[in-house]
Amino acid sequence: MLTQTTVESPLLNLTGTVHWRDRWWLLDVETSGLDRQEDDIIALRLACMENYNVIQEREILVRPRRPLRPWVEGLTGISNQTLEQALPLEEALRELDALDSPLLFLDRDFTLPFLRIACSRCGREFSKPCLLLDRLTAMLLGGSPRQKTERFLEKLPPPDRLRGMPPRNSDLRKLYELSLAVFYALENVHHIQDTAQLNDWNFYGIILSNLRGGTKMLIKNMEYLSQRLRCTDEEKDACLETITEILHFWTDTRKNGLLAIGGDRAEQDPNPFFRACLLDAIEWMGSEDEPLLEELFAQYLIAGDYTGGLFLQNMVIAEGILAYLKFLQEHEDGGSFQQWGDRLPAVVGGYFGVEHREKVRKTIRQEIRKWERDVKKTSFLPEFDALGSLPLPLCEKLLRDTYDDHYAFGDRALALALKYASGAVQDHVLSVLSPEERDAMEEEMDACTLVRQTDVEHAQREILERAASYESSER
C-alpha cells in the first residue's frame, strides 16, 4: 500500500494558521560584517504590517563584541558611540521574542544564519515563528531564491500606491513592497489564503504551474521534485510493480490492440491518476492535441496532493505512458518487447535513485524472461523438450557438471541451449537453483546474442547427449 510521506515544509517555525492580512513584523538585520561566526548583529529593524498597512516601526540596537570598523559605520549609519547604549545580545533577543506576531524576512542565507548563531551564543535555539520570502518570491517571479531584494523588485510593475505609510527605512520599504506583491499573488492569483495551505507541498506545484515555461518547468524543477520524491525503500519497491504494468503495455497492445490499455485496464485500475492518464492517452493519441498530453499530466500532478511513494508512482505512470506513445511512433511495427524493455529504465529509472538502479533493471529483465518462457511453447530442437521430464536430481547433476563449485558459468553450451528452449524446459531445469543462482544463469542466457542457428542446434544436441549419458548410468 502506497502512502503519503511527510516532507519538510517550506515554512520555518510557523505553526497554526496565519492569514496574509493578519499582523506581521517585517525584519531587516544590520551586522558588523558578513562572517556569520566572527561578526555580530548590531541592529534589528522592524516594521509592523497589518491588513497590508504599516502601523508601527521599531529599531533594536545590539551591542557587538568588538568595535565597528569605519566602513561598517559608514555603510550602516550606526556609530560605535551609538552602540555604547545598545542592548546586550540576550536582552535584544528577548525583545524580539516578545513581539506579538510572526516575523517576515527575506532570506535563509544571511538573516536566518545570523539569528541562529546569535541565539546559540546565548545558549538557546532560534524558535520565533517566522516566514521567509526568498523561496516564495522566486517561485512567483522566477529566478534564484538567493537574489537580492532589488532584483526581485525589478520584476514587479511599479505600484500605483503603497497601502498606508511605507516604512521610513529603505531596506524595510523594499521588503514591504515585496511582501505586498507576494501576499497579493498568493491570495488573489493562486487562491492560497493562509499559511496553513503552505504546510502542504502541493502549493509548490500550484505556483510553479503559473511560472513562465508552464508545467514543463514544473516537471523539471529540481527542488520541487526532490521534495515530493522523498520516499522509503519500501515505497520504491512497491513502485516496481507499476514499472511492470507499464512494461506490459507492449504485450497488451500486441495481443488485443492499442485500445486494450485504455479499456479494461483503465477502467479496473484502482489508481484514479492511472485511469485518467490512460483514458486521455487513448483519446488524444494521433490527434493534433497529443503533444499537450505532457502538460495535461503535469497539471494532474500539480492538482493532486501527492508526495512520497504515491508521487513516485504517478511520475512513473505519466512518464511511462508518454514514452510508450513515442515508442510506438518510432516503431511502425510496434517494436519488440525487448526493445521496449531496454527503453524503460532510461525513462523512469532515475526517479528511484542510484541505490535502486539495479532493482529497476532486474525487475524489467525478469519480466521479459518470464514472458519469453510463456510464449516459447517448443524448443529450437523439438526433441530438446524431453528435458522437461528429466528427473530433478539429474537436472542438478547437469548443472553441477556444467558449473564449478560456486555455480559460476563454465560452459556456454548450456546457456545457449536453454535460451532457445521452451519455457517449460527452462523452468524445469532451472528449478533446482537458488534465486541468486538462477539470476546468474539467466544473465548468461541473456548474453547469448547474435548467434547462428547451427550454434543453437549444436548446443542443444550436446546437452541432450550429456543428459542421455546420465540416464544410461542410472539404469
Summarised one tens digit per residue, pLDDT across range 344-377 is 998 888 888 888 889 999 999 888 888 877 777 7
Task: For residue 30, give the C-alpha cell.
Answer: 544590520
Over the stretch 444-456, which tens digit does the pLDDT of each residue have? 887 776 677 788 8
State whether CATH 3.30.70.60 applies to domain 24-193: no
Residue intervals in the chain for CATH 3.30.420.10 = 24-193
Render the burial of 405-443: b for 16+ CB within 10 Å, e for the rest: eebeeebebbbbbbbbbbbbbbebbbebbeeebbebbbe
Q: Residue 440: its pLDDT value, please?
A: 81
What pLDDT score does 417 carry?
86
The predicted pLDDT at position 264 comes to: 60
> Which of 9-13, 59-63, 115-119, 429-433 is predicted with the least confidence, judged by mean pLDDT?
9-13
Least confident segment among 61-75, 166-180, 187-201 = 187-201
Give yes or no for residue 238 having a pLDDT over 80. Answer: yes
pLDDT above 70 coverage of the chain, percent: 77
Name the segment(s) of the chain with CATH classification 1.10.220.30. Answer: 376-474
pLDDT at 373: 77
Per-residue three-class SS string for the chain: CCCCCCCCCCCECCCCCCECCCCEEEEEEEECCCCCCCCCEEEEEEEEEECCEEEEEEEEEECCCCCCCHHHHHHHCCCHHHHCCCECHHHHHHHHHCCCCCEEECCCCCHHHHHHHHHHHCCCCCCCCEEECHHHHHHHHCCCCCCCHHHHHHCCCCCCCCCCCCCCCHHHHHHHHHHHHHHHHHHHHCCCCEHHHHHCCHHHHHHHCCCCCHHHHHHHCHHHHHHHCCCCHHHHHHHHHHHHHHHCHHHHHHHHCHHHHHCHHHHHCCCHHHHHHHHHHHHHCCCCCHHHHHHHHHHHHHHCCCCHHHHHHHHHHHHHHHHHHHHHHHCCCCCCHHHHHHHHHHHHHHHHCHHHHHHHHHHHHHHHHHHHHHHCCCCCCHHHHHHHHCCHHHHHHHHHHHCCCCCCCCCHHHHHHHHCCCHHHHHHHHCCCCHHHHHHHHHHHHCCCCCCHHHHHHHHHHHHHHHHHHHHHHC
Is the per-residue pLDDT at 389 higher than 50? yes
Question: How far apart are alpha carbons 382 and 202 in whole angstroms?
Answer: 59
> Which pLDDT belongs to residue 8?
40
Q: What is the pLDDT of residue 290?
A: 74
Mean pLDDT (whole number) for 78-107: 92
Does 304 score more than 90 pLDDT? no
The larger pLDDT score, comparing residue 233 to residue 210, is at 233
User: Which positions ≥6 away from 112 have C-beta within 8 Å?
Assistant: 12, 105, 126, 132
Residue 407 has pLDDT above 60, yes or no: no
For the stretch 126-158, pLDDT in tens is 889 888 887 777 666 655 555 666 666 765 655
Which listed CATH number (1.10.220.30, 3.10.270.10, 3.40.50.740, 1.20.59.10) goes with 376-474?
1.10.220.30
Average pLDDT of the segment spanning 386-412? 71
Mean pLDDT across 450-470:
83
CA 31 – CA 117 distance, rounded (Å): 12
pLDDT band at residue 427 using 50, 70 and 90 as cut-offs: confident
Q: For residues 18 and 196, what is the distance between their CA atoms, to the nearest angstrom?
A: 7
Grid coordinates in use for 458? 549444436
